[in-house]
Amino acid sequence: MVSIVQTGVANTASVAAAFERCGASVSKAETGEAVERAANLVLPGVGTFGAGMESLREAGLVDALRARIEAGRPTLAICLGMQLLCASSEESPGVDGLGVVEARVELLSRPARPRFGWNRVVPEAERGVIDEGFAYYANSFGVRERPAGWACAMSNLESPFVGAMQRGPVVACQFHPELSGPWGLDLLKRWIRAGVVAC
Amino acid sequence: MLTKRVIPCLDIRDGRIVKGTSFANLRDSGDPVERASLYEAQGADELVVLDVSATSEGREVALHTVKAIRRAISIPMTVGGGVRNVAHAQALLEAGADKVGVNSAAVQRPRLLTEISERMGAQCVVLAIDAARRGDVWEVMTRSGTNRTGIDAVEWARRAVAAGAGEILLTSIDQDGRGNGYDLGLIRVVASEVSVSIIASGGASMAAHMVEGFDAGADAVLAASIFHDGVTSVGELKYELAAAGVPMRMMEVAR
């Protein structure tokens, strides 16, 4: 069972459809309790860093998310979801992120605008959940410096940035695995398997 | 580096794909779900789904078609046709769209772009501009190309990006469906005026046309007839574009 955090404005239908194509059953996680209990939890997200944190706070999900990620329980954060794991973002100065990843989110290229498209992802560590291939991105912001304790896969947009990172069954992708074709579906399957092994 | 994108477009009417010339004389070109799956397998980088009759018939795009396509594919999907408010945009995202295409309603009420962008982010807002050449300038047309607005297309692109459009789907009505290449002047002038991605549309029938579109400043190319009619496949086209030196996502890395 894969539970998807409902942040209100994310493309959760695409995320759910992708997991269903992987053969997983999908449910919604709308409360702190559901976030704590979920076997596999997905934190999707589109929109701004500030609005994303506000919706997590309003739904009372902040502590539960922090706890399960600190405990190394199977969690997949996508796009804005990955940014929300970080301490802060240039996009919303003064707003604290979940802070489970020691990193700051920065504007990747100026002027600020969504950069759409497929970019190569190259893992730095030996094979984990994140494989080499092309991933679909739709973002303006991202993490440039590799956070300590995470195995990173890098992409390049004028300069290198963290395309995805993994710590056990906790995976965060700046790209959209659910929109990255067969390569993305394989990543989702490996993440589910990583969770089974870890539990 | 981001690769350039090749985007098949499904023009839908009553649950079937249709295609015409300069937005008229529509003919049946097949089942949207089958086509979407085929194009994904061939390496399509995204899909655009437009309900071509939604605005002119005063209704919203069929959500069940969007849902059926989403169940079949895992590449980005932009859906447009008759989008008039945030609630409708939200309904499209919930049905499986990743981006919402807005056209006529934004011309009437540009604030619509701001409202969708504030709620869902600029990356969800694709402004479709249908432009017709008038000498050295281009006029914005609405309602599937049937209505003249008197608005300059370049000026509209600039205002729309300021209002919240994250990407522009730029269609030349004069070239649409004719297969003799994009209106390169239109692409050049809009790309030089705005910083967002431009999807070139209307008139391409071969890789050489698309290379011209990229050279003129497009980040992505959209085509319909050439794929529906089997003139070429997405895979063959991308192979030719890659051979011509255009950065492409090729499928050999898929495992």
B247 touches chain A (CB under 8 A): no
ipTM of the complex, rounded to two decimals: 0.92
Smallest CA–CA distance, residue A71 to chain B, in Å, is 31
Does domain B5-246 bear CATH number 3.40.50.620? no
- Computed over every residue of chain B, the mean pLDDT equals 90
| pLDDT tens profile A5-31 | 987 666 789 999 999 999 999 999 999
Smallest CA–CA distance, residue B196 to chain A, in Å, is 6
| Tokens matching residue A142 | 């991202």
Smallest CA–CA distance, residue B3 to chain A, in Å, is 6
A48 touches chain B (CB under 8 A): yes
Across the interface, whether the CB atoms of B166 and A114 are under 8 A apart is answered: yes
| pLDDT tens profile B128-172 | 999 999 999 999 999 878 899 999 999 999 999 999 999 999 999
Determine the pLDDT at residue A165: 97
Long-range contacts of B55-64 (CB under 8 A, 24+ apart): B55/B81, B55/B82, B55/B103, B55/B104, B55/B105, B55/B142, B55/B143, B55/B144, B56/B143, B56/B144, B56/B146, B58/B82, B60/B84, B60/B88, B60/B91, B61/B12, B61/B92, B62/B12, B62/B15, B63/B91, B63/B92, B63/B95, B64/B15
Which amino acid makes up residue A166?
Q
A91 touches chain B (CB under 8 A): no
Closest-CA residue in chain B for A10? B120
Chain A residues inside the 8 Å CB shell of B3: 117-119, 134
Determine the pLDDT at residue B254: 38
Q: Report the percentage of chain B scoring pLDDT > 90.
A: 72
Count contacts between A and B (CB, < 8 Å): 119
Say which of B3, B75, B93 has its CB closest to residue A13: B93
Confidence label for A185 from pLDDT (cuts 50, 70 and 90)? very high
Q: What is the CA radius of gyration of chain A?
A: 15
Determine the pLDDT at residue B58: 56
Domains, chain A, in order of start with CATH, read 2-198 (3.40.50.880)
Is the CB of residue A189 less than 8 Å from the CB of residue A196? Answer: no
| Tokens matching residue B183 | 């209106």
Q: Best interface-test mutation with A: which of B49, B65, B74 has the largest number of A CBs within 10 A?
A: B74
* pLDDT over 80 at B19, yes or no: no
Q: At residue A63, what are phi and psi to the nearest 5 degrees?
A: -65, -40
Confidence label for B22 from pLDDT (cuts 50, 70 and 90)? low
| pLDDT tens profile B224-235 | 889 998 889 999
Chain A residues inside the 8 Å CB shell of B97: 11, 13
Across the interface, whether the CB atoms of A184 and B98 are under 8 A apart is answered: no
Closest-CA residue in chain A for B93? A11
Mean pLDDT of A112-137: 92
CA B92 to chain centre: 16
Q: Report the percentage of chain B scoring pLDDT > 70.
A: 90
| Tokens matching residue B110 | 């540009």
Q: At residue A136, what are phi and psi to the nearest 5 degrees?
A: -95, 125
Residue with tokens 């506000």, as numbered in its chain:
A54
Closest-CA residue in chain B for A113? B196
Chain B residues inside the 8 Å CB shell of A18: 74
Across the interface, whether the CB atoms of B1 and A183 are under 8 A apart is answered: no
DSSP state of B40: H
Every domain of chain B and the residues it spans: 5-246
Across the interface, whether the CB atoms of A11 and B123 are under 8 A apart is answered: no
DSSP-assigned letters across all residues of A17-56: HHHHHTT--EEEE-SHHHHHH-SEEEE---S-HHHHHHHH
Closest-CA residue in chain B for A160? B1
Distances (CA, A) of A105 to A76, A89, A92, A93, B141: 18, 4, 10, 10, 40
